[in-house]
Structure 1
Amino acid sequence: MRAALARRSHSSVTPEAPTHEQLLPFVAAASRVADHSSLRPWRLIEIRGEGRAKLGKALGKADGSKKPSDKPFRASLLIAVVASRQKSKVPEWEQDATAAGVAHLLSLLLDEAGWGVFWRTGDLTRSKPVRKAHGLKKNEELLGWLYVGGIHAKYRDARGKRPVDPTKYLSSI
């Protein structure tokens, strides 16, 4: 409860980021989301270093720009969230929900561990150049990227948004 109520998006992060080895237990924990038929219809792509330049070129091309986008350089670590749909009785929307659940739980876990995280999406996630840069298969859709880094000192003790009034969002029949 404490982690959920304290969570916030950090749209600007410092260059520090968890290593690949540090990231593995977070991914293992995030894999515990609800998953009908245990399909694991998701995968994550770790993007660092030159991978960010490759993504920048793809985003620039997809946007019709002659120059690469600098957006991937807003964090040292980007984690692409991919819905990797499986042939199953489980509908695609439910498989996509599982992939989104992994992304949200992963962002919550990283936030609780002291990392700044924000989730970027947009129309370019469905573009051919961006799909190609991520090596997506026909059964896969990019849901966006988690940008991960250190938290700026002025935000370390800042609280996230106030919780909603639950009576406005919880009803019964």
Structure 2
Amino acid sequence: MTSPRQAADRRPARRWTLLPGFVVLGTLFLPPSTVGPAGPTVKDETFITAETGGLLHIEAGECFTDPAYSPEAAEVVVLYTPCKEQAANQSYGFVHAPDGAWDPAALTTFARESCRRGFDGNWSGESASGLDFYPVMPTRKTWADGDRDVMCVVYSPEGSMNGSALPLARW
């Protein structure tokens, strides 16, 4: 019979390493600003997926954080953030992808084109200055579960946004 101490001796030691540039607030690890030494972060269809924790709680028009590891959830999550608190991202709509077999290339094309139309419809000329968009797409797993929704997200490549980016929210 193995004693608890002997069993503990056989387990590999856990080592906690805080990656450079991360800040500890309470027990939540937050990523650095989207502007770093290398310049602005470019977000694309791989930045966040439908499987990212917390994403299903975000509705159209709502703001949220960039993904970060949460020890409480034991996974990478995004958190709802009031837009007035300089959020990193804002959902501006959802589009429903056509049913069919899982085809990542076709889904990426559909998501980029659909979100581009929504972005161009909301922000054109001067109002688009300093903003960009990215789609959040279903994964192979969520597609198999029937998920066909693509979330369209606006963000500022230069960092957090000051308030809602939606044109109607400015009135």
Do Structure 1 and Structure 2 share a fold, with TM-score over 0.5? no
Which structure features the higher share of helix residues? 1
Q: Per chain length, whose mean CA-contact separation is higher, i.e. which structure has more relative contact order (CA < 8 Å, sep 6+)?
A: 1
Structure whose residues are more often strand by fraction: 2
User: Which is greater in Rg?
Assistant: 2
